[in-house]
Structure 1
Amino acid sequence: MAIDPGAFTARLILERPVETPDGQGGVLRGFETLATLWARIEPVSALLRETAGAERATVTHRIRLRRRDDIIGGMRFRKGMRLFAIRVARDPDETGRYTLCDCEEDRP
């Protein structure tokens, strides 16, 4: 699989989920920045659905970046106001050079 590193033109922020105590026995769930990196975003498919009388679109993407061993499902990428939830990350050609993430983006 030939991947052109020059195609990594999207500047993304990698975020991981964190939980902090809310002082009442529960937790507040949020995200914290882990890294800023260059990647390539490729739209794959879109699904339009109706939820509570409003239409929402879920767009799936493949996000390619240089190899990282710390990416797991549940993390997300941020690009401005856009959020890409990472479902799975893998080595696309098993050479240890790149990471390919299957992601979903919800759009109103």
Structure 2
Amino acid sequence: MNTVFIDAGRLTSELALERLRPVADGIGGYRETWEEIATLWARIEPVSDTVRYFGAQPLEEITHRITMRFRDDIASGMRLRKGGRCFTILTVHDPDESGRYCLARVREEGR
């Protein structure tokens, strides 16, 4: 497979990698809390924006591609956070299977 060139100097956004940590609520359910497991540098690139309608309520969906150094502990369902912006990880892959970088397709929440 051909090596993909990624300029490490363009990884200029500091992000927190978080995983979901369910905490028992004492009545048989749980509440969702997010636990930060790492801080990393990445590049955020907008990919698409769409509007879907739930009844008369417009629901905006914005997707991004986030490039970061390779980590084997990143999985879909986790999230990346930059300040008040949260990005739910949909897919993660190594673009050239070299173990140098990984690309994540994410959906921005709460915008």
Instruction: Confirm or deny a common fold (TM above 0.5).
Output: yes
**Amino acid in the other structure paired with 1:106:** E
Q: Residue by residue, what CA displacement relative to the aligned partner does 1:13-36 show, whole Å, maximum 9, x if unpaired?
A: 110001111111111112110111
CA drift of 1:52 comes to 4.7
For 2:74 and 2:93, the matched residues in 1 are separated by 9
Q: Work out which of the residue numbers 66, 70, 82 in structure 2 matches 1:67.
A: 70
CA–CA distance in structure 1, aligned partners of residues 54 and 39 of structure 2: 33
The separation in 2 between residues aligned to 1:44 and 1:17, in whole angstroms, is: 25
Provide the residue aligned with 1:91 in structure 2: 94
- 2:41 alignment counterpart: 38
In structure 2, the gaps of 5 or more residues are: none
Paired residues of 2:86 and 2:110 also in contact (CA < 8 A): no
Q: 1:5 to 1:97 in 2, by over 3 A?
A: same
**1:82 aligns to what?**
85
1:38-84 deviation per Cα after TM superposition (whole angstroms, max 9, x unaligned): 00001111111223533231111110100100000110001111110
Q: Gapped runs of 5+ residues in structure 1?
A: none
RMSD, aligned α-carbons = 1.2
Kindly, what percent of the aligned residue pairs are identical?
48
- State the TM-score, normalizing by the size of structure 1: 0.93
- After superposing the two structures, state which structure 1 stretch, 21-30 or 33-42, moved more: 21-30
